[in-house]
Amino acid sequence: MKRIRVLVVEDSPVIAEHLRRIISADSRFEIAGIAGSGEEALLKVQQVAPDVISMDIHLPGMQGFEATQKIMSRHPTPIVVVSGSRGDDVPISMRALQAGALAVVEKPPSSSHEDYAALASKLCTQLAIMSEVKVVRQREPQGSRVSDGISGSTRAPAGRRAYRVLAIAASTGGPSALMLLLSALGKDFPLPILIVQHMTPAFLEGFAEWLGSVIPLPVTIVRSPTLLEPGRVFLAPAEKRHLTVRGSLAYPDDSAPNGVHRPSANVLFSSIAGATGSAAIGVLLTGMGDDGAVGLGELKRAGSWTIAEHESTATVYGMPAAAVRLGAVNELLPLPQIAPRILELVGVAREAE
């Protein structure tokens, strides 16, 4: 079996050796090279053509997020950010995700630490998964809309109505997609927005802070029953709990994982279908796997309007593709077209009020 070639980018020789030992101990991998700076990483990517990159964010000279940006614009390669989970590491890690990195994982501690085995395993798992992602320079397709044959994808929803909630789910590639979509909705968006973003729990707080700093809407992690207010973003809590809706409140939910996910997009979408019927807009963005497809189908059957991100802009087309296969999608759109469409839908509903 062909082994996965990993480029390790790390300026500390001690940590670089630590990571080399962890990765080399897994028979799936071989070390393609080690780079001690962003500039060296750019050269190594050309020289050794790795399958995946383990990227530090604190580098001499060019920082990790800058190196990520340059690699993704010149030699697109799957990048996993290996970072601390405290202090200024988190916002810098979020900038790396914004620049095109696929995932962020905690840097494994020394082998004597109680969390060493779990975090080392998580690093290797993420490197293996992300090595399979085909990252390319993506261009928006020609034409005003892309329907891919989805029946009625360009028609306005039947039975004009006032929408009560917008629900969005994303996984791999989600942070940057969410930033772009939510920014385009504007500061006066009239609905509460509920989001499931699959993310390592240690980075959730930092992700919420970062997202709130780059979009014009306030961001809240739902840790207790919370009133759904218009123009606010409500994030699912860490992976131990789901996010659900009952009446006018958002709730953290301790029920069992849905498949392997907790929080799960399926659980969020299903709860909204039960709570709002036809008065929701559901959006499924980039992500690996199929979480959200079944729940989006429930929203559609309840009469809500469902949108999935088109393959041309999705970092990973897994979740949207699964929803399309199930017939759960009213409209399949490239990312830049989703926010204008949502505003159009909300505008139609408000005119009807």
| Residue 336 binned pLDDT confidence (cut-offs 50, 70, 90) | very high
In sequence order, which residues have a C-beta less than 8 Å from that of residue 327 and are 6 or more positions away? 297, 300
From residue 226, alpha-carbon distances to 83, 194, 243, 245 in Å are: 31, 11, 11, 10
Per DSSP, the three-state class of 219 is: strand
pLDDT at residue 11 tops 60: yes
pLDDT at residue 348 tops 50: no
Percentage above 90 pLDDT, the chain? 67
| Residue 142 binned pLDDT confidence (cut-offs 50, 70, 90) | very low
pLDDT at 36: 95
pLDDT at 156: 56
- Digit-coded pLDDT (tens) for 204-255: 888 999 999 999 999 999 999 999 999 999 999 976 899 999 999 999 998 8
- Digit-coded pLDDT (tens) for 38-58: 999 999 999 999 999 999 989
Contact indicator for 284, 319 with CB cutoff of 8 Å: yes
- Digit-coded pLDDT (tens) for 108-127: 999 899 989 999 999 999 99
CATH H-level superfamily of 165-352: Methylesterase CheB, C-terminal domain (3.40.50.180)
Helices (H), the chain: 13-24, 38-48, 64-74, 89-99, 116-130, 174-185, 204-214, 265-276, 293-301, 318-325, 335-352
Domain boundaries, the chain: 4-130, 165-352
Summary mean pLDDT of the chain: 88
Does 291 qualify as catalytic in the annotation? yes
Contact indicator for 53, 9 with CB cutoff of 8 Å: yes
The catalytic position among 54, 83, 85, 171 is: 171
Using CB atoms within 10 A of its CB, is residue 276 exposed (0-12), middle (13-18) or buried (19+)?
A: buried
Does 51 qualify as catalytic in the annotation? no
Other Cβ atoms closer than 10 A to 284? 33
pLDDT at 139: 42
| Residue 172 binned pLDDT confidence (cut-offs 50, 70, 90) | confident
What is the C-alpha to C-alpha distance for residues 320 and 308, in angstroms, rounded to an integer? 5
pLDDT at 200: 81
pLDDT at residue 174 tops 80: yes
Does 198 qualify as catalytic in the annotation? yes
Per DSSP, the three-state class of 194 is: strand
The catalytic position among 26, 56, 85, 198 is: 198
Residue 118 φ/ψ, nearest 5 degrees: -65, -45
Using CB atoms within 10 A of its CB, is residue 178 exposed (0-12), middle (13-18) or buried (19+)?
A: buried
Contact indicator for 328, 307 with CB cutoff of 8 Å: no
Pick 4-130's CATH classification: 3.40.50.300, 3.40.50.2300, 3.40.50.720, 3.30.565.10. Answer: 3.40.50.2300
The catalytic position among 26, 56, 253, 291 is: 291
165-352 shares the fold of 4-130: yes
The amino acid occupying position 259 is G
CA neighbours within 13 Å on the CB side: how many for 169? 36
Per DSSP, the three-state class of 348 is: helix
pLDDT at residue 314 tops 60: yes
- Digit-coded pLDDT (tens) for 70-103: 999 899 999 999 987 666 677 788 888 888 898 8
